[in-house]
Structure 1
């Protein structure tokens, strides 16, 4: 059921009939308006007399015609002329909040009737007051992604000082985020995780390396504060899960990666947290290869084995070394700020292989989640996206299809791991035995794909509904799929969307 909120409702008719008409109208608004994951704001919608009729058929016709008239000419909140449109939409409430916060931090006055509806917590207050409330709400457990978005918007807008002040004011609530991850029932034999030490270090370095320079600078400045240190851990958790959402299946490994990422962020990796297992004894010097020795070890061995030049030789070499002039320093009027980030307008895109995502319920029934949890060595490479791309390549879906546009890229020249091939074969045989369908039967179904952050909406025509899948409940909405890091939803409809 779609969530509908009405700020003002005007009914024309006898006063004694207003109660029943309002109940019928509220029911019609919740059931007849097309369901959509986006945030749709309508300024005015004129309803015909049949909208409050006791007959459901008349209410359906009246509501649909009024909705189509009200949403005609809808514009995205960042498009020109959005303030004069009767209907404005955003891909989500988080996007509307981020766009408004970006405008306020840059000193721009938001113009448009829709901003008070898109961000009801703003209430035209100063940005410092509103930002403090946003940070306080984002420090709650489970809101790491929202906190990461706030830090990114503030640093890109050159307002990191406002963010640090808000984090300092929210120090008591930040302690909630700083709680260590507890053991979620894992066997005691896995407490050491010795085979995953290298994986934890690799993922931690990759997560920190993907952060923008301005974000890294702001996080380093906040590490020394009580509230900032807790917020940094929350942001790092969101960043690690962005690298590979499947790491949420293994709390111990995720906690270790976050701790190592905190060390990488703090001192550039010079003093990482204590390793999960004791390091193996070093190999004999004659068995080492030059490429296998870390850079710091190579420098130390050279200092011991190579003779050091004398002082006159070093002075002569320094005089013979060509002098490279330093780059010119350009004077600036003030601190350099990053350019405003573009907010892409998200719209549904037609895909000839939208049926690829119909395999997600079948994979869940096959136990992909528990299998990945039992193979933690695969969790650092986003195994869910890797399996979906392997399925697409195996059954003829091009790599640039819109159905794959929201997944991380993969080098087409590299072979896929062997475990993806085994899962493709097992899934195909299981579908044939369970629903009398093959993977290529599902993949060739066209539809519209809408990527919006962590949400994926797939719209198929009514004719694409398959009774074999429906009978075995394999066309159900997957919802939040943690091993993919996506909230997936299926819609069967022939009605056009905004």
Structure 2
């Protein structure tokens, strides 16, 4: 379960005749802030400039104080505007759509040559200082984006935003060779390229999807690779990041770093002529800049964190040499407090930055409009708000570890296929806001060419949760019968498929494998059918888990009206509290999954007590007399309360 967003108080001012009363007031206010229902309980980040809670009496309870804090906050936040609005500096509060958005907005603004002096930036981004040089600020924002709940993915979204705004060069100019090594380790991309997935026949190598003809930001990558060199860690990190951003399903490459680096190496080698092999073997940090741009300030990376400083190139070079002589390597924890030049004493680098041409932000606005379109509230009504309850079911069935263990299925973007399979089985309306916001596009058929003979081995967690019947059943698969299909005792749930001898993990997970197949399944021979087999197995496992632990059908779990508020990294689902289902609550399906790596989102569920018009929520459920719980569809093979 992902922890709630932190509630921070930058400065607390209390006045009392005696020090014990001040300590008592601080304790009461801390307890009230922990128990109060604040606007920041969803994905949005609220920044309040000043909040007067009135007089705090020593005998007052923290619960009463929490109610007063909630009332004062409602009065302040009703005047809040989005942090990109030019009038935000004059408002008592601003908000951002998620915790990552302030880093993206500010980075884009700085890279375009703007300044950020509004009161809310140091409060939304710590430890931001408006007097910080541009290069140090961009490096701080890149590192700070990884300190959010989305982790390193935040840095990729920041790179995407700068790329779309055509202002990525100022950020890349801040990177040093030590930064490239540190960022590769931060993402887990410092591994050797993977050749064979676990469980594959050593004589049969996996055919990864062919590199695309072009990547988003390819021109910038080639330009900087010409300066850095093909073997430079910065080049490999930037190429891996752009490859991930171009992927149909970004979680594929983040869960399979070895496969990603194999693809990156193949792509870079194919474009060795464009980047120049001579530049790959030569060059110093001073040469790793485009001729048209002035070199930004150097950054010193210590082992215990990122520390942007204002220094000359010679000082940075000496620091780098000292780290190498001592055998130390930099790391990338959340950013530490920045050092900036004293007032009235700009560094030499600041003078060079002022000479570099930069695109100015549009006149009349401090920042560009927010990148996520939609209403100010951001909520949209959905008939399938319960669809994300399945994330907790998949977690119980070890879906994430299974993907990490079998990256070959990731190469075919299996999570996207599973979602689409579930949507087709339930006959969901593809125009529903939830599906439009969260349904990834399916990969091209060419990317599935290697799934024809791909082994499928279910997670070990299935044996104790969803397997039924006594023993196991072994069948022949396909028109020739050379492939083996292992199912549980019921003969319905597929547990494994393989060629030749069974993989060693099969008997270790599910017990002794029968020696002779008893039946032939001839309709599952093509690659598409093999993919369907895996989707059917996971779908049946989900249905059995829902029935066994919650007595719910798949359709009645998914088809629940609610509201969705989605950003590129966060999803908030809101249900009317009067529609609370005890079966869902008892099974823990509405626990916050938090950051789901393969889903690439932070998911949070909410129950709201605001009155909701029945007509505002489409697809309402029939009520069961007496319990108030929504009932499933009365008909259908996937709904109702029949045992799967």
Partners of 2:250 and 2:118 lie apart in 1 by 38
Match for residue 436 of structure 2 among 389, 398, 405: 405
Partners of 1:219 and 1:191 lie apart in 2 by 39
Structure 1 length-normalised TM: 0.72
The CA deviation at 1:159 is: 4.7
Residues 1:58 and 1:427: Cα distance change in structure 2 (over 3 Å) = same
Partners of 2:146 and 2:78 lie apart in 1 by 39
Residues 1:369 and 1:4: Cα distance change in structure 2 (over 3 Å) = closer
Specify the alignment match of 1:115 in structure 2: 121
Specify the alignment match of 1:128 in structure 2: 135
SS at match of 1:81: helix
Residues 1:153 and 1:491: Cα distance change in structure 2 (over 3 Å) = closer
- The alignment status of 1:387 with 2:418, answered yes or no, reads yes
- The alignment status of 1:63 with 2:69, answered yes or no, reads yes
- The alignment status of 1:19 with 2:47, answered yes or no, reads no
- Given that 1:244 and 1:379 are in contact with CA atoms closer than 8 Å, whether structure 2 keeps it comes out as no
| Structure showing greater relative contact order (alpha-carbon pairs closer than 8 Å, 6 or more residues apart) | 2
Specify the alignment match of 1:293 in structure 2: none
- The alignment status of 1:8 with 2:14, answered yes or no, reads no
Partners of 2:79 and 2:583 lie apart in 1 by 39
Note the 1:4-403 alignment, pairs <5 A: 4-16=7-19, 17-34=21-38, 35-49=41-55, 54-110=60-116, 112-124=118-130, 125-134=132-141, 144-155=152-163, 159-168=167-176, 171-178=177-184, 180-181=190-191, 190=200, 194-196=204-206, 198-199=207-208, 201-202=209-210, 205-206=211-212, 209-212=214-217, 215-221=220-226, 223-224=228-229, 226=232, 228-236=234-242, 238-239=244-245, 243-264=249-270, 266=272, 343-345=371-373, 347-373=378-404, 375-403=406-434
Partners of 2:181 and 2:108 lie apart in 1 by 27
Partners of 2:233 and 2:253 lie apart in 1 by 25
The CA deviation at 1:436 is: 0.7
Specify the alignment match of 2:520 in structure 1: none
- Given that 1:456 and 1:489 are in contact with CA atoms closer than 8 Å, whether structure 2 keeps it comes out as yes
Residues 1:85 and 1:138: Cα distance change in structure 2 (over 3 Å) = closer
- Residue by residue over 1:135-157, the C-alpha shift from the partner in whole angstroms, topping out at 9 and shown as x without a partner, is 567799x9653443454455555
Residues 1:111 and 1:176: Cα distance change in structure 2 (over 3 Å) = closer
The CA deviation at 1:21 is: 0.7
SS at match of 2:174: helix
Residues 1:52 and 1:157: Cα distance change in structure 2 (over 3 Å) = farther
Runs of 5+ in structure 2 lacking a partner? 278-356, 363-367, 446-527, 612-644
Residues 1:104 and 1:377: Cα distance change in structure 2 (over 3 Å) = closer
Runs of 5+ in structure 1 lacking a partner? 272-333
The CA deviation at 1:437 is: 0.3
Residues 1:385 and 1:269: Cα distance change in structure 2 (over 3 Å) = farther
Residues 1:151 and 1:245: Cα distance change in structure 2 (over 3 Å) = closer
SS at match of 2:42: coil
Which piece of structure 1 moves more, 448-457 or 143-152?
A: 143-152
Residues 1:232 and 1:116: Cα distance change in structure 2 (over 3 Å) = same
The CA deviation at 1:55 is: 1.8
The CA deviation at 1:120 is: 3.6
Specify the alignment match of 1:467 in structure 2: 582
SS at match of 1:460: strand
- Residue by residue over 1:373-392, the C-alpha shift from the partner in whole angstroms, topping out at 9 and shown as x without a partner, is 55543312432233223222
Residues 1:381 and 1:5: Cα distance change in structure 2 (over 3 Å) = same
The CA deviation at 1:252 is: 3.5
Partners of 1:342 and 1:37 lie apart in 2 by 15
Match for residue 554 of structure 2 among 434, 439, 463: 439
- Residue by residue over 1:357-384, the C-alpha shift from the partner in whole angstroms, topping out at 9 and shown as x without a partner, is 1111112223333444555433124322
SS at match of 2:560: coil
- Given that 2:379 and 2:563 are in contact with CA atoms closer than 8 Å, whether structure 1 keeps it comes out as yes
- Residue by residue over 1:300-333, the C-alpha shift from the partner in whole angstroms, topping out at 9 and shown as x without a partner, is xxxxxxxxxxxxxxxxxxxxxxxxxxxxxxxxxx
Partners of 2:250 and 2:106 lie apart in 1 by 29
Partners of 1:97 and 1:256 lie apart in 2 by 31
- Given that 2:193 and 2:261 are in contact with CA atoms closer than 8 Å, whether structure 1 keeps it comes out as no
Structure 2 length-normalised TM: 0.57
- Given that 1:447 and 1:459 are in contact with CA atoms closer than 8 Å, whether structure 2 keeps it comes out as yes
Partners of 1:266 and 1:5 lie apart in 2 by 49
Residues 1:351 and 1:269: Cα distance change in structure 2 (over 3 Å) = farther
- Residue by residue over 1:153-205, the C-alpha shift from the partner in whole angstroms, topping out at 9 and shown as x without a partner, is 5555555553343113xx22322344632699x98765958442x32x43xx2
Partners of 2:391 and 2:572 lie apart in 1 by 13
After superposition, the CA RMSD in angstroms is 4.0
- Given that 1:41 and 1:88 are in contact with CA atoms closer than 8 Å, whether structure 2 keeps it comes out as yes
Count of matched residue pairs: 425
- Given that 1:244 and 1:381 are in contact with CA atoms closer than 8 Å, whether structure 2 keeps it comes out as no
Specify the alignment match of 1:303 in structure 2: none
Residues 1:356 and 1:53: Cα distance change in structure 2 (over 3 Å) = farther
SS at match of 2:591: coil
